[in-house]
Chains A and B, each alone.
Chain A
Amino acid sequence: EVQLVESGGGLVQPGRSLRLSCAASGFKFGDFAMHWVRQAPGKGLEWVSGISWNSDTIAYADSVKGRFTISRDTAKNSVYLEMNSLRGEDTAFYYCAKARPPGSYYLPIDSWGQGTLVTVSS
């Protein structure tokens, strides 16, 4: 069974940094592209960042480009989101998500974690 468990969320002041982690199990992690998607309370889904199986393809939403960095560690079956210069509008639940069948980056998301809440406030 696919399991994605996010951690690292919490309350952080504007301008500070936070690192989210996602521990994956139940599938061959190294074969799949991974993504981060966020959802502000009561709002819609916003794709944040994605990384291909071999880290060759990395992409970011314009809203986080230059501030957030995605990475993965196949040995630890984990994907990370380093978030710098945080703003109030970054407050959201952050979901880790796995893409469909292995190979290409250009495949839909088919599994999600339960999310971790990041609150940016002074």
Chain B
Amino acid sequence: DIQMTQSPSTLSASVGDRVTITCRASQSISSSLAWYQQKPGKAPNLLIYKASSLEGGVPSRFSGSGSGTEFTLTIGSLQPDDFATYYCQKYDGYSRTFGQGTKVEIK
């Protein structure tokens, strides 16, 4: 099975910072990658699909890039509402592996 590895596991940042999270696949998944944001006690929320397509209603400060095995999620200018945990997920093939998550904390 294809493994998804996110880094870092935790990230401390300040409001206004540019933040980048990386997700690596153990084999090529083309552009079949999504990013989700999850806040405590809530279901996840889709941010990005097809590696770089912004889901409707998601602020434009969120962007995604990459293809094959290496992907990034960038938050252009971190806002107070963005402190949360972020997950990548592959959706090619039958199984849908998630990365282990990246918690974005207030510095």
Contacts and interface: CB of A to CB of B under 8 A. Distances in A.
B5 interface: no
Interface residues of A, number: 24
Main secondary structure of the interface of A (DSSP, over half): strand
- Specify the main secondary structure of chain B where it touches its partner: loop
Contacts of B81: none
Of A61, A106, A108, most B-chain CB atoms within 10 Å: A108
12 contacts: A45-B98, A45-B101, A46-B98, A47-B98, A59-B94, A100-B49, A108-B34, A109-B34, A109-B91, A109-B96, A110-B49, A112-B45
Nearest to A96: B43
Interface of A: 35, 37, 44-47, 50, 57, 59-62, 95, 100, 106-115
Contacts of A107: 91
Interface residues of B, number: 26
B60 interface: no
B89 A47 contact: yes
Contacts of B95: 47, 59-61
A112 B44 contact: yes
